[in-house]
Amino acid sequence: MALCVAAAALVVGFGAQFNGTDAYPDAGAIDADYDAHVGETVHVWGEVTATDDGRVVVTADSLSLRVTDPTAADVEVGDQVQVYGELAPDRRLVTVAYDVQSPDSLNAMYAVSVAGIALAGGAFLRRWRVDLDRRAFVPREGE
């Protein structure tokens, strides 16, 4: 019980300290008052939602930005991107650095991650079993 309270405290404490800060830019807050944020340097994790006319649009929450990089040749709609750069008027972002992850590569990452969870769980259950009487994991015989 105390551990669950501690977990909740971490979740709220982290939110209080970092939500909407430079470390964790709040895309929704930027969108709500865009003009006030022009000139700020931000780091946005979003999705490519359009590549019309060679211009790439990245959307995070309600915020959509036309970015200077990556270009339409570098990405497809649906790619996940992190972009770092300066907010310019008219919802543009002058990109300093970016990274792209395709949905296919993310799916592959999830697939091997499931294998990792299975490996950890399997290794644990090979040496431990559930004791229903004690409602706890106990070592298997010989361990």
Partner 1 sequence: MPDLLTHVLFAYVVGAAAVWWTGRPDRCLPAVLVGAAAPDAMKATVLLDVVAGTAVGVPYSFWGLHTLGGVVVLSGIGAVTLRASDRRAGLAFLVCGGVTHLLLDAFVVRVDGVAPPYLFPVSGWLPPAANLYTSTDLWTIPAALALAVPVWVARRRRAAG
**Residue ranges binding partner 1 (CB under 8 A):** 3-4, 6-7, 10-20, 23-24, 43, 82-84, 96-99, 101-102, 105-106, 108-109, 112-117, 119-121, 123-124, 126-128, 131, 134, 136-139, 143
Nearer to partner 1, 23 or 73 (CB): 23
Cβ neighbours of residue 32 under 8 Å, at least 6 residues apart?
none
Maximum C-alpha span of the chain: 69
Query: Cα(40)–Cα(75) distance, rounded to whole angstroms?
Result: 25
Nearer to partner 1, 19 or 52 (CB): 19
The conformation of residue 69, written as its DSSP 8-state character, comes to: S
Chain-centre distance of CA 11, in angstroms? Answer: 16
Nearer to partner 1, 73 or 110 (CB): 110
Nearer to partner 1, 52 or 109 (CB): 109
- The CB-of-22 to partner 1 minimum distance in angstroms stands at 9
Q: What is the number of other CB atoms lying within 10 angstroms of the CB of residue 73?
A: 8
- The CB-of-115 to partner 1 minimum distance in angstroms stands at 5
